[in-house]
């Protein structure tokens, strides 16, 4: 039975993913690295240090910097990113998302946040959404980033729910992989090819309707129960 929803933040609740990408691209340019468009999905969902490593790999600069310099580069990106998010307001909630959260609360579902970003609580405050959530995973307490399932397992545990009682929402292939590795039902928001491992895919948040998603979730549970009986 569906009891909870778990949300990524960047690119799911608000378009802060584009601010992350803009800040990473500015840092890459400074390092003389020309990032192809294909880098974008590889940067989505990854922790700050994992993202920096993705960029350095594209520029063949892995192992070039000391750990102190790596920390300084990550801090520089974060400072640029924080300048971009400072102006965010409730008007920046992606279309359909507020209604989805309201419908979920009306349906008495528990809600959690599973964002790799240390800035996510601050963004949720600025959007006026923080009180919607029963739990927020602290990404600094994790051992592994997405696509490892740890963050989604942690969110489910904070809600005291099982994997087959939650639906999780992601815009990144690394995030969908993390949800599936946690054994949860994955809703992918974005490119159907990139997010093809998800159980339910919509091109953007406007198409997120709790009733339709719940129906797909129930259908999949019935189908997998039938398989177990066979
Ligand atoms: C994820 C973003 O949610 O958070 C990534 O998709 C970002 O792009 C990661 O690198 C870490 O964010 P922060 O704010 O802790 O640097
Ligand atoms: Mg995301």
Q: What is the pTM of this model?
A: 0.94
CA distance 21 to 153: 26
Ligand 2 centroid – CA 117 distance (Å): 9
CA distance 217 to 129: 25
Q: Which residues of the chain have pLDDT under 50?
A: none
Q: Which atom of ligand 1 is nearest to the CA of 77?
A: 16
pLDDT at 224: 87
Ligand 2 centroid – CA 217 distance (Å): 21
pLDDT at 229: 61
Name the residue of 7, 11, 18, 20 whose CB sits within 8 Å of the most ligand 1 atoms, as the mutation to test its pocket: 20
CB distance 46 to ligand 1 below 6 Å: yes
Question: Catalytic residues, which ones?
Answer: 8, 10
Q: Do residues 14 and 93 touch, judged by C-beta distance below 8 A? A: yes
CA distance 164 to 204: 24
pLDDT at 230: 58
CB distance 42 to ligand 1 below 6 Å: no
3-state secondary structure of 202: strand
User: Tokens 């949800």 identify what position?
Assistant: 179
> Which structural domains are found in the chain, ordered by start?
4-15+91-229 (3.40.50.1000), 16-85 (1.10.150.240)
Residue among 132, 107, 94, 91 nearest 210 (CA): 107
Cα R_g (the chain), whole angstroms: 18
């Amino acid at each position: 039975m569906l009891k909870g929803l778990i949300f990524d933040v960047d690119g799911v609740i608000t378009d802060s993913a584009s601010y992350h990408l803009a800040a990473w691209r500015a840092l890459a340019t400074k390092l003389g690295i020309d990032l192809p468009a294909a880098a974008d999905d590889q940067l989505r969902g990854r922790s700050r240090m994992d993202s920096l490593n993705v960029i350095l790999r594209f520029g063949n600069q892995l192992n070039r910097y000391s750990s102190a310099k790596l920390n300084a580069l990550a801090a520089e990106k974060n400072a640029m990113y924080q300048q971009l998010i400072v102006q965010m307001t409730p008007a920046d909630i992606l279309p359909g998302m507020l209604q989805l959260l309201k419908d979920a609360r009306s349906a008495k579902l528990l809600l959690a946040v599973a964002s790799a970003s240390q800035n996510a609580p601050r963004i949720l405050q600025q959007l006026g959404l923080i009180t919607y959530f029963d739990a927020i995973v602290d990404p600094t307490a994790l051992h592994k980033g997405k696509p490892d399932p740890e963050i989604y397992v942690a969110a489910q545990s904070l809600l005291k729910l099982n994997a087959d009682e939650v639906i999780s929402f992601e815009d990144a292939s690394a995030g969908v992989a993390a949800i599936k590795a946690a054994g949860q039902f994955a809703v992918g928001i974005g490119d159907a090819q990139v997010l093809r491992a998800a159980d339910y895919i919509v091109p953007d948040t406007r198409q997120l309707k709790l009733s339709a998603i719940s129906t797909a979730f129930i259908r999949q549970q019935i189908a997998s129960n039938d398989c177990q009986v066979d």
